[in-house]
Structure 1
Amino acid sequence: MTCILVAHLGSEVVIAVDKRVTCHAADGTRIVLGDSEEKIVRTAVGIVTGCGALPMLEPVKNVLSTEGFSTTDEVLELIQQTRNAYAEANSCNPRLAADLAETAWLFTYPAMANGQAVTRAVFFHQSVSTENFAVVGEGRVMCFPGGFSREQAQEVQSHLQEVVTSSLSTNPYEQAKQAIIKYMLHLMSEVADTTVSVSRVCDVAVINGRNVQFKHGVTSSNGVSDWL
């Protein structure tokens, strides 16, 4: 499964995603398959990532990374078709409802707002809507849980929001960004201590329009200095 942390800093969007892949055993327990998955995928206009069931995530990520998209409506239709196909193929699977509820996609793209170039970060999650994307607004954060509770995710999100708001309001931008990335890696480590579904090691992307900076395989102990 996956933990995704998102912070929209205004000029840039920072995304941290853990690298663990798990599967369910026959008794329902999770089995760790590895900690080397690169879950943030580059597209022609930004990135795409997601959490949940790989058979739903991968088709969408593959299309966006190889074929791209012209409008967000195309992406929404692709996600809906993928979900429907998965539901039909797994109609007898007792995990179907959970898989649909836990699977989410997040992607970025450049746009214009009031004559200014901006970076949009939008996501699809069943708990919000199955008919529209939701937007991560400037100055806002999100935590997408995969394999840990929504209550825990909301607590993580609340702590991250406090740090983002405080850092952006009191520090120069570059200093604030470093503090926010450091805290995101700290939160990822804390989540990893509570669930087998999330790894301490993660990938981080900093997105500004079409420009994407990646750091792979970072942790709370080694990741921040790479941006200094």
Structure 2
Amino acid sequence: MTCILVAHLGSEVLVAADKRATRYEVDGSLTVCSDNEQKIVRTPAGIVTGCGMVEMLNPVKDHLSAQGFATTDEVLELIQQTRNTYAKANATSPRLAADLAKTGWLFTYPATARGQAETRAVFFHPSLSTETFAVVSEGRVKCFPGGFSHEQAQEIEAQLQEVVTSSLNTNPYEQAKQVVIDSMRRLMAEVAETSISVSRVCDIAVINGEDVKMTLGVSSGG
């Protein structure tokens, strides 16, 4: 489980991910294992992260981290194969449908649009499609929930979108970026207050093409 916040600022993409690892017990209850997980992983093209079941997330993240990818179709095929493998291995699990429905991935890579270099942020989530990726476009944000409601995620997303839009319109870029990062930290801490699946401490990545700057273990308090 996790909470991932994404903000595409144009020249850079900001990604925040909490650090909590949980597991399901036999009775279906959720237990906290640690708050030391690094869920944002570097790849040769940028980063990859995700929310949901680690048994599905990690094979994709490990492959992209070690080998990268040539096309997004290659990544889509890898994700679909991983989902199929998980489904076969857990065919009798009463949680299988829920596990598949809540597990998604986000990755970034450098691209060129209208002759200009840009950082592309794309994601796979079954709530939208199991056949294509969706794009976090310039100036837009996304919240990926794992362990809290879709409605709460929409509210978090709306708050972050308001901060991004107003900051980019009124502040110099570097100042706007810091305002957005501070907002991500605050929102992560707010989610953690109501969700056992999310830690208030998070990692933040600033991605510009293949260049990735990571800040590990930050919270709303610093």
Shorter-chain TM-score range: over 0.9
CA distance in 2 between counterparts of 1:195 and 1:61 reads 25
Partner of 1:69: 69
Q: Give the number of equivalent residue pairs.
A: 222
**CA shift for structure 1 position 198:** 0.1
Moved over 2 A (4+): none
In structure 2, distance between residues paired with 1:54 and 1:45: 22
CA offset digits 1:129-164 (Å, max 9, x no partner)? 100000000000000000111111011001100110
Residue in structure 1 matched with residue 19 of structure 2 by the alignment: 19
1:214 lines up with 2:214 in the alignment: yes
CA shift, 1:25, in A, is 1.4
Report the AA paired with residue 116 of structure 1: Q
In structure 2, C-alpha distance between the alignment counterparts of 1:103 and 1:89, rounded to whole Å: 16
The answer to whether 1:106 aligns with 2:106 is yes
Residue identity matched to 2:114: N
Which residue in 2 is equivalent to 1:81?
Answer: 81
Q: Which amino acid is the alignment partner of residue 164 of structure 1?
A: V
The DSSP-based 3-state class of the residue aligned with 2:39 is coil
| Structure-1 residue corresponding to 2:137 | 137
The corresponding residue for 1:119 is 119
What residue number does 2:163 align with? 163
Cα drift, residue 28 of structure 1: 1.6
| Cα-to-partner distance string for 1:73-123 (whole Å, 9 max, x where unaligned) | 000000000001101110100110111011000000000000000000000
Q: Write the distance in 2 (CA, Å) between the matches of 1:181 and 1:73.
A: 31
1:191 aligns with 2:180: no
- Could you tell me which amino acid in structure 2 is paired with residue 216 of structure 1? L
Structure 2: segments with no counterpart, 5+ residues: none
TM-score (normalizing by structure 1): 0.97
Structure 1, unaligned stretches of length 5 or more?
Answer: 223-228
- Supply the distance in 2 between the matched residues of 1:115 and 1:47 (Cα, whole angstroms): 23
Give the counterpart letter for 1:82 in structure 2: T
Q: Percent identity?
A: 70
The code of the aligned residue for 2:55 comes to P
Task: Letter of the 1:122 partner, please give it.
Answer: V
SS at match of 1:11: coil
CA distance in 1, matches of 2:94, 2:46: 35
Q: 1:31-67 CA distances to partner (integer Å, 9 max, x unpaired)?
A: 0000000000000010000010011000000000001
1:150 aligns with 2:150: yes
CA distance in structure 1 between the partners assigned to 2:29 and 2:150 by the alignment: 19
d(CA) in 2 for partners of 1:131, 1:42: 25
Which residue of structure 2 aligns with residue 8 of structure 1? 8
TM-score (norm 2): 0.99
